[in-house]
Chain A
Amino acid sequence: MTEGPPAVQREPAKAAPLTPVPATWQAAPRLRRLATIGVAVVLLAVLTRRADLLLLGAPALAALAAARRGVRPETLDAAVTAAPLRCFEGEDVEIVATVAAPVDEVTFRIMPGPAVTIIDGPATQVAVAGQPASARWMLRPHAWGRHHLCTVTARCTDGMGQASLTLRPEQVEVFPHPPPARASLLPADLLRRIGEHTATASGAGIEFFGIRGYQPGDRLRDLNWAVTSRLGQPHVNQRAALRAADLVIMIDAFSDVGPPGDTTLDLAVRGAAGLATAYLRTGDRVGVVVLGGVLRWLAPSPGNRQFFKIVEMAFGVRFPSEAIPDLDRVPRTALPPRALVVLFSPLLDRRALNAVTDLRQRGVSLVIVDVLTREPPAEPRQPFTQLAVRLWRLDRGALRSGLTGLGVPVLRWDSEAGLEGTQAPLGGGGGAGALGRGGGVGAKLRGQRIRAVR
């Protein structure tokens, strides 16, 4: 079984057809310089009545006159390509800019977008006539989304004229890089579909479930000889069934705070991708509900294809909205009653908290992953800001305690670590509420029908 996200089909880099780009020709800086000096020298010679001073400006004027002239094209054929057009965060994308025009010199300059770094190739590249006018860079996007990775400016100089072209490559779909996660949180009631999770019912699995008396049809190799000899009656071992689970990932898109590429929404979508990868790998069904903007959902479904559906739905979450989500609009197929719901939220917006309360009142098994990793900045010289930060911490603590009292565990996720460490607190050994039968080692969470399996 492979670790990591499903592979993206990487199409080979191919040359894009050149398209005519409108060019506005202007006087090149060299023309202005030479003309300024030439005219200034001639004026000086006239004013001072010194013809010998013409020797200072004559070469400059001659260079002006000797420069290539002629009608310049109104459009220049140019193109910029990005390959591949689909990748994961942290993977490299090749950008190639080409200008096919009879000009003396082309200066390419790339301006990468936010959360995009240049890995290879100088930001400014020059091509002179007689050489292929193209430039190549390798960029590395650090933020998921569907966006233009860069803008390329091509400054074409021809004789004493200059035109500047602005080129933008196609939009690249950057998928979030899923952090390592395990399918360790499970709803108490698993589905009737065959999966990889040990259910709390007997079946055809491999884990020990219990012992019962022999019945006609039982396989002889299941006989428990120790119990049979002690009780004098034939007894057989029962094994736990292997079932699949439904997971619904909720993304709170109401708030988005933090630096580009590392905002709370970035973390939420990365976490959702990691969890989806882990559960889809074990044959579970995964769905998604996006809170914020227009309420959108995707019904749980298995398979690698579902991963890309989830991520593509997440591409459209980045826009502000004042709408209040009405969870009644989410159909039963998208939010099955026996599903485990994991909400990725910074817990900053009241509407998301209201949605949590609503879900708990419906009896949905819910776990919250807090994706707010940064505190408000405190100015050390101003005591009031430090006091404000302390109050903010207390408020956050009270909020988390309130949610825990409501029966909703809140897990804090540091983006530096994988989700496995975040899930660990829920996987603590069998306590008072441990599920003994067929559940392996786990704990029943307060008031909720959730199992955390180690």
Chain B
Amino acid sequence: MSGVDGTTRLPRLGDVITRLLTGCLGAGMILLPASHLTGSSRALAVLGLVLVAVSLAGPLARWRIVGTLAAATAVTEAALTRPDLASLAWEGLLILGYLLLVDAPRRMPGTVTAHWLWRQLPLAVWGVFTAAIVLVVLAVRVPVSAWLLVAGAGAAVAAVVIAMPRRSSEPREPR
């Protein structure tokens, strides 16, 4: 890493811990369904690992799309194979963890890193809670229903709409 003034700076401990954690989660989400891959589809695992590595360090790390592509690769891997429900739930949680941590600000001191990680915990808990609910719902034998899938899609859209930042409805004060 190099500073603005041209001097080389060693990465901080908090930075190393965050990246290590992100790397583990990223490698896990790629390698978990990789054992079920066959033939040329194994190239996906290699591609995913490369994307995870690139998203953590190097000049391309500041391209935010690299992390998204790595997660998309993991999803594709899982779609190509037919793992059991528990594996899929773990995969979903690994993807969430990776997506949360890959956004961590760089060069944080140790105390700030701990505080930042602590603030991500509620989102992770919500993810675990939701994964458990979906797992239970899917484990119960019900006939395949297109309505259920449509409801899921609707829920996804609603989640995005709710989470989108919105402007104040009050008229702006004239300057």
Residues of A within 8 A of B (CB): 25-27, 29-46, 48-67, 69, 71-72, 74, 104-105, 107, 110-112, 117-118, 122-131, 159-161
Residues 66 to 108 of chain B near chain A (Cβ within 8 Å): 67-68, 71-72, 75, 78-79, 85, 88-89, 91-93, 95-96, 99-100, 102-103, 105-108
B85 touches A67 (CB 8 A): no
Nearest CB on B from A34, distance (A): 6
Alpha-carbon distance between A29 and B64 when the two chains are bound, in angstroms? 7
A63 touches B123 (CB 8 A): yes
Nearest CB on B from A137, distance (A): 10
B115 touches A71 (CB 8 A): no
A55 touches B85 (CB 8 A): yes
B92 touches A57 (CB 8 A): yes
With contact pairs A127-B112, A128-B112, A130-B115 given, residues A29 and B103 touching in the complex (Cβ less than 8 Å): yes
Residue from B9, B95, B102 whose CB has the most chain A CB atoms within 10 Å: B95
Alpha-carbon distance between A37 and B92 when the two chains are bound, in angstroms? 10
Among B92, B150, B162, B165, which residue has its beta carbon within 8 angstroms of that of A56? Answer: B92
Chain B hits for A118, CB < 8 A? 3-5
Q: A51-B144, A131-B115 are in contact. List 11 more A-B contacts (CB 8 A).
A: A33-B71, A38-B160, A39-B160, A45-B152, A46-B149, A60-B92, A61-B156, A63-B126, A118-B4, A128-B119, A159-B165
Nearest CB on A from B78, distance (A): 6
Among B102, B106, B131, B172, which residue has its beta carbon within 8 angstroms of that of A59? Answer: B131
Alpha-carbon distance between A74 and B153 when the two chains are bound, in angstroms? 32
Residues 105 to 129 of chain B near chain A (Cβ within 8 Å): 105-108, 112, 115-116, 119, 122-124, 126-129
B131 touches A58 (CB 8 A): yes
With contact pairs A45-B149, A61-B156, A127-B112 given, residues A56 and B78 touching in the complex (Cβ less than 8 Å): yes
B126 touches A62 (CB 8 A): yes
B92 touches A59 (CB 8 A): yes
Alpha-carbon distance between A61 and B157 when the two chains are bound, in angstroms? 9
A-B contact pairs, 16 of them (CB 8 A): A25-B165, A27-B164, A30-B100, A37-B68, A37-B75, A46-B149, A51-B152, A53-B88, A55-B91, A58-B130, A58-B133, A59-B127, A60-B95, A72-B168, A159-B165, A160-B163
Alpha-carbon distance between A111 and B152 when the two chains are bound, in angstroms? 46
Q: Place the interface of chain B in its size category.
A: 35 or more
In the complex, B60 has a CB within 8 A of chain A: no
Alpha-carbon distance between A29 and B79 when the two chains are bound, in angstroms? 25
A57 touches B156 (CB 8 A): yes
With contact pairs A54-B138, A59-B131 given, residues A64 and B112 touching in the complex (Cβ less than 8 Å): no
Nearest CB on B from A308, distance (A): 30
With contact pairs A118-B3, A128-B115 given, residues A58 and B162 touching in the complex (Cβ less than 8 Å): no
Among A55, A57, A71, which residue has its beta carbon within 8 angstroms of that of B168? Answer: A71
Chain A hits for B164, CB < 8 A? 27, 31, 160
Alpha-carbon distance between A101 and B133 when the two chains are bound, in angstroms? 36
Alpha-carbon distance between A159 and B164 when the two chains are bound, in angstroms? 10
B79 touches A48 (CB 8 A): yes
For residue B6, which residue of chain A has the nearest CB?
A117
In the complex, B43 has a CB within 8 A of chain A: no
A126 touches B129 (CB 8 A): no
A58 touches B92 (CB 8 A): yes
Nearest CB on A from B1, distance (A): 10
A64 touches B159 (CB 8 A): yes
Residue from B96, B102, B124 whose CB has the most chain A CB atoms within 10 Å: B96
Chain B hits for A50, CB < 8 A? 79
Among A32, A44, A61, A130, which residue has its beta carbon within 8 angstroms of that of B159? Answer: A61
Nearest CB on A from B144, distance (A): 7
B96 touches A63 (CB 8 A): yes
For residue A41, which residue of chain B has the nearest CB?
B75
In the complex, B20 has a CB within 8 A of chain A: no
With contact pairs A53-B78, A128-B119 given, residues A33 and B165 touching in the complex (Cβ less than 8 Å): no
